[in-house]
Structures are given as C-alpha cells and as structure tokens.
Structure 1
C-alpha cells in the first residue's frame, strides 16, 4: 500500500468514526427529547410515575395521559420531523440549491390544498380521513411536482436546478392564492381546523395517525438511504454523472417522487410545518459534511429532534393553552433562513 493510499484509508476511517459519533449523538438527543416530552405537560407526571406507567403500573388517569395523549403525539412529531427533514435533504441534493425545501417548491402547498378540499366536502370528523388523507395529500403533492417538473423541463437540457426552484416558487404562490380563496368559503368549524392546520399543528395525535404514517416512512426512508451514492453522483453535475453511468433524469425523477411522498404523508398529519426541510439538512451538513452516506441518517435524526423538541416547547410555553408546533419551528427557522440568505450573498 502506497503512502497516498494509507492517507486515503486513514481519512475514510476518520470520516466514518465522525459520522458514527454524530449519528449516535443525535440518537441520544432524540431519546432525551422523548423522555423529557413524556414528562412534560399541563398534568404533571414525575419520571418515576412515567416509568411505572410504561411498565403497566399506572392509574387509569396516568394511562390515559401517557398512552392516549402524549405518546402518540410524541411519536407523530418524531416521524414528521424525520420525514420532512429527509424530504428537504433530497430536494437540496437534486436541485443543488442549499435554500430549497418542499415548502419552497410548492409540494407542501399542493398537499395542503387537497387536505383543505377534503375538509370542505367531508368535514373534520370522518374516520376515513385518518387513512385517506396521506393518499389525498400525496395526490395533491404529486400533481404539483409533475407540474413543476414539466414546466422546468427543457428539451435537450433536462432540468436546470435554478429553473426548478423558480418554477416551484411561482407554482407555490398560485396554490397559496387558491387556498386562500377556498378558506374564505369554509364554515366556522372548518375554518378553525384549517387555520390551526396551516399554522403547523400536530393535529393527528392518536395511534390511528401513527399507524397511517409509519408504513410510508418504513418504506421510503430505507429507499432514500439506499440512494445516497446516487445523490453524491448527481451533485457532481450532469455531465460527470452521465460519464459515471448514472441515468440522471430517471434517478432525479425517482428521488423527487420519494421526496414528494415523504413531504405529503407528513403534511397530512402535521399541517404546514415550515423550515424543517431547510434547517435540518444544513445542521446535519455542518456536522458530517456533504456526503449523503452520512448526511441522510444525520439529517433524519436532526429533523426528528427538532420537531420533537419544538412540539414539547409549544405544548408548555403558554399553559394551559398551546401554540402550533409550526410556529415554534418558524421562530427557530426564520432567523436561520435569513442567516443563510445573508451568507449566500457573500
């Protein structure tokens, strides 16, 4: 083995150790956030009460609080954070734009439009909404993504990342305007639900929503992690990717479809939580670097920690009331977004 090969091998080991350390650290933070969230709320449960209840020794009241109210919401917030963060990481990878996320491209808006249409016609109490909303949100997000992709595609050139972003912003503005017109025609109950949903509330906080969301993430997250090397190749540029044997447009479409599905199923149960798909990839990238083999797992855990912590704070900061989780995430995300804009101008 030559000296150069030894240095390369040592560097790869160093990166692998760093990435593993970061992923383990994020996992520990997620566990800590989970434990704190279980013990936090309007009705106090001590750590010992929580532990006793988890192992079947709780009172009826403690079981109701922990298993019916807190645990489903905590798990949904973790799943939503992981899904939105991973969706944003994919969008940034295929567009090669550090400021891209599903909300900016209009994917969240397309999913939200279908949710509002469902509420208009079927109300907010339908049992079927638990399992049909992810599919309806996927349909809305999918139509939006196809529209954006079609408008961004140029024969002979394919998809230019900047054209994709600008088209997404324009489509998102149009969908938002249409959504506003529809909201005006809602009755009081529907309007209250939609207003809370648009602010980013974890409204799907029971076990049925966990069961509705979990299969999507179980299928999509491993697929995206498997495509980490393809994302690295696409980041090298289309010409280099073609020379390495990658089917650029086909892989880009597949990854975009995975990103759309992740964002749609999360938006269906959490409302429009902005900035997660923007912030989490940036934080993870600072910790593990740009290679997607380490970036995607770190981003998934970072998003889960972010939304879980934000939801916990949102539940307790103005007790006995609560504020939507999306507002708390925006309080964190807006300054960071402005920082990124300022940094990119330098």
Structure 2
C-alpha cells in the first residue's frame, strides 16, 4: 500500500538504523503504545484484589502498601511486561518471515519454528517432570527447527517457495512427534504440557522479564539494521543483487533474527498462535509496505493483541481464567481464513 499523496516523512537516525518514517506511521505507533499502556494499567487494576488507577501507578512507581506491592509488582506487572514483550517479539518475527518469503500467509507458527519449540518443551515436561528447563528446551527446539528448515531448503541458495513447503512439511512431522509424546505418557504427566501448548502467561515472573528484555535488546536492533536488505530482497533476487545485496548472508541473517524472536517468545509463554501471522498484515494495511517504521508499529500492535487477549482471557469468563493463546487463536483463526480468501481471490 503506497503512502498517501503528500504524506510527510521524517528522517530518523540511530546508531544501528536510519530511515524515513511517515507521519501516519508515527501517529499509529504512538496510539498503539498508548493502548498498550492503558491495557497494562487495566490488567493491573482487575482481579480478586481490585485497585484504582492511582493505586496501580503509585505502586508501580515504588509506593503503596506491602499488600499492593506484592499484588502489583510481584504478580501483575511481570505478567503484563511478559505479554507485551511476547507480542512485540512475535509480531516482528512474523513481519520478517512474511517479508523474506513474500507471502502474507507465512509465520513461525506455520512453517515449523514454533512446532520445534513445542516438541522440545513437551518432551522436557513429560520426560523430566520439570518446568524449570522448559524455556531453554523451547528456545533450543525452535533454533534447531530453523536450522533444519534452512538446511533442507538450501539448493544453490534458499528460495521462498521451497522454504514454505519444507517448513509446512516439518510442521506436520513435529506436530506428530508432539502428539506421540503426549499419548505415550500418563494424563497427570502430560497435563502441564497441554496447558503450556495453549500459550499462557500464567506464572510469569521477573526472570522471564529479564530474559525477554535481554533478547529483545539484541534482536530488535538487529531486525531494524537488516530492514534495508529485506526491502531490497522483496524487489526480487536480480534487482537486489544489482543493488549490492549479498543474497544468502542476508537471508540467513534475517532467518536467524526472525527465528530468535519467535524462540524467545515461545520460551516464556508457549506457542501463542496467530500473533505472528495476523499482526504484520494489519500493520501493512494501516501504514503501507514494510519499512523500519512499520516494523516498530507491528511490534506495538503485537503487544496490544497479547496484553489485551490476556486481559480478556483472565476476566471475561470469570471465575474461569483461560490462556491468552486461546483468545488470540479465536481472533486469529477467522482472520487467517479471511487472508486465505483474499489471497485466493487475487491469485
């Protein structure tokens, strides 16, 4: 979607990225960030021990009673921060994969990356009966799945069409292995694994926040730094080569960053479905073709979706609390069908 005629763009220069961001993209990003903050405050207000907005803000700033400090700073704030970080990571990851393959129906939860994390995490839960190693297992599983996809796709280079076919095939294989692991063990052993597979922020702690913050501090600047290469790759291999892009190193770097972001999110929250598939498309509909500014907007929209979904999952069905992944799936599945219909119509 081209920018509106006369749309003003402002140059933004950072140490690791420079580019022009349209006023529309800037406004949309600010609005999305404000929505994240509003949803975060709302999430910290609601619960068995309700708080006012003032109490929440005072407690987050370091004040409040001991009880309020425990409820907000120990229980609710980490959950909100993890939700926002997971949303950012998945949305940016999905944007990279869709831009790299030039297909709006591609995402890490479609081409096997999340399935790799899932089979590793489920195996860790049912075999070792411990959730302590689940984040590490999920991260390693996602990274290994990415290496397998890249290795099987390589044939004098990596083509987008082959990557999708290999990824979807690997997705089926890994899903079958996950199912096998579940049916081979007693119900009491696999129940925690099944809950994890729905994508939940339950039990989010400050250790998860630190993990997410550290990973995002490395991977998000890397994603922005690689954006000029991704934009040129979208023009086609011949033109990208003419513009000075080293095709395979650029693809490998983008694939590594996209997979790292997805692995980071899955490691702390499980496979929260459809965020990586849906949000990049929404960001492009709102702000135009993928640029560094649109990538940031996608991250903010991802945070809105995950934090908002977790808020709905916790309180809309009270006294029952649902995993956030169920709500994102309920929103994302119909949107996926809409996307599929739209792609088929324009094919």
Question: Is 1:339 the equivalent of 2:345?
Answer: no
**SS of alignment partner, residue 47 of structure 2:** coil
Question: Is 1:197 the equivalent of 2:185?
Answer: no
Whose helix fraction is larger, Structure 1's or Structure 2's?
1
The match for 2:100 is 94
**SS of alignment partner, residue 33 of structure 2:** helix
Distance in 2 (alpha carbons) for counterparts of 1:289 and 1:10: 12
Q: CA RMSD in A?
A: 2.0
**SS of alignment partner, residue 227 of structure 1:** helix
Question: Any conservation in 2 of the 1:202–1:325 contact (CA below 8 Å)?
Answer: yes
Question: Any conservation in 2 of the 1:124–1:193 contact (CA below 8 Å)?
Answer: no
Q: Which moved more, 1:316-325 or 1:301-310?
A: 316-325
Structure 1 residue 135: deviation in Å? 3.8
Distance in 2 (alpha carbons) for counterparts of 1:296 and 1:194: 32
TM-score by length of 2: 0.90
Question: Is 1:221 the equivalent of 2:227?
Answer: no
Which string of whole-angstrom CA distances, capped at 9 and with x for unpartnered residues, describes residues 316-340 of structure 1?
A: 0122220110000011111111111
Question: Any conservation in 2 of the 1:134–1:264 contact (CA below 8 Å)?
Answer: no
The match for 1:85 is 91
Structure 1 residue 189: deviation in Å? 4.0
The match for 1:104 is 110
Question: Is 1:35 the equivalent of 2:41?
Answer: yes
The match for 2:121 is 115
Question: Any conservation in 2 of the 1:149–1:164 contact (CA below 8 Å)?
Answer: yes
Which string of whole-angstrom CA distances, capped at 9 and with x for unpartnered residues, describes residues 22-70 of structure 1?
A: 2111111111111111112232112233234334443332222111211
Question: Any conservation in 2 of the 1:103–1:109 contact (CA below 8 Å)?
Answer: yes
Question: Any conservation in 1 of the 2:309–2:324 contact (CA below 8 Å)?
Answer: yes
Question: Any conservation in 1 of the 2:126–2:193 contact (CA below 8 Å)?
Answer: no
The match for 1:3 is none
Which string of whole-angstrom CA distances, capped at 9 and with x for unpartnered residues, describes residues 184-225 of structure 1?
A: 233444312111111111134111211222211111011101
Structure 1 residue 125: deviation in Å? 4.9
Structure 2 matches for 1:1-346, cutoff 5 A? 12=9, 16-126=22-132, 129=133, 133-155=134-156, 158-346=157-345
Number of matched pairs: 333
Distance in 1 (alpha carbons) for counterparts of 2:151 and 2:236: 20
